[in-house]
């Protein structure tokens, strides 16, 4: 499927085809990986979109390639085609938990190694959770419930 969004042709490809697709695009002159990121749509079974933005220096053309991945599905790494994808893929793994099959050094890059979750997933509570203030056992330490405040007219579903 190819569509044009914000004047950038966008193609949705199967996870199994991403490596062949970016290899073909590189051979066609798209030699610069501008960005590689993900976003989370928890309402879908394939909740993660991994997005690759490529640039052709000869004429300034850009192309966007998307891959859908479900929870626990690995996406093939493109570090063999674009070595710059190394840190981008690590960032996506660290913040969303999307693993890249064949990545040379897939480990956390921003969060501590013992962090229990993935901070950019959209399945965290929106408030009302217990928040600790201060250090346990010290004077002034207290647990409180963070208030839920929504602007007037906001509907929370």
The model's pLDDT over 29-78, given as tens digits with 9 standing for 90+, comes to 999 999 999 999 989 999 999 999 999 999 999 999 999 999 999 999 99
Q: What Cα–Cα distance (Å) separates residue 146 from each residue in 40, 124, 125, 141?
A: 25, 14, 11, 15
pLDDT at 154 over 60: no
**Which domains are present in the chain?**
2-101 (3.30.460.80)
| Structure tokens given for 88 | 């981008």
Q: How confident is the model at residue 5 (pLDDT cuts 50, 70, 90)?
A: low
Closest-CA residue to 51 (of 32, 75, 80): 75
The model's pLDDT over 91-132, given as tens digits with 9 standing for 90+, comes to 999 999 999 999 999 999 998 888 888 889 887 666 666 655
Model-level pTM greater than 0.85? no
């Amino acid at each position: 499927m190819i569509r044009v969004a914000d004047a950038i042709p966008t193609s949705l490809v199967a996870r199994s085809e991403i490596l062949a697709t970016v290899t073909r695009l590189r051979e066609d002159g798209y030699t610069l990986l501008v960005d590689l990121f993900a976003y989370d749509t928890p309402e879908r079974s394939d909740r993660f979109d991994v997005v690759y933005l490529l640039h052709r220096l000869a004429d300034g053309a850009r192309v966007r390639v998307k891959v859908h991945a479900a929870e626990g599905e690995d996406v093939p790494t493109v570090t063999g085609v674009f070595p710059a994808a190394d840190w981008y893929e690590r960032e996506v793994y660290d913040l969303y938990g999307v693993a890249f099959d064949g990545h040379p050094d897939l480990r956390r890059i921003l969060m501590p190694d013992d962090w229990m979750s993935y901070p950019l997933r959209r399945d965290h509570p929106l408030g009302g959770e217990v928040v600790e203030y201060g250090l346990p056992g010290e004077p002034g330490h207290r647990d409180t419930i963070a208030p839920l405040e929504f602007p007037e007219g906001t509907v929370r579903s």
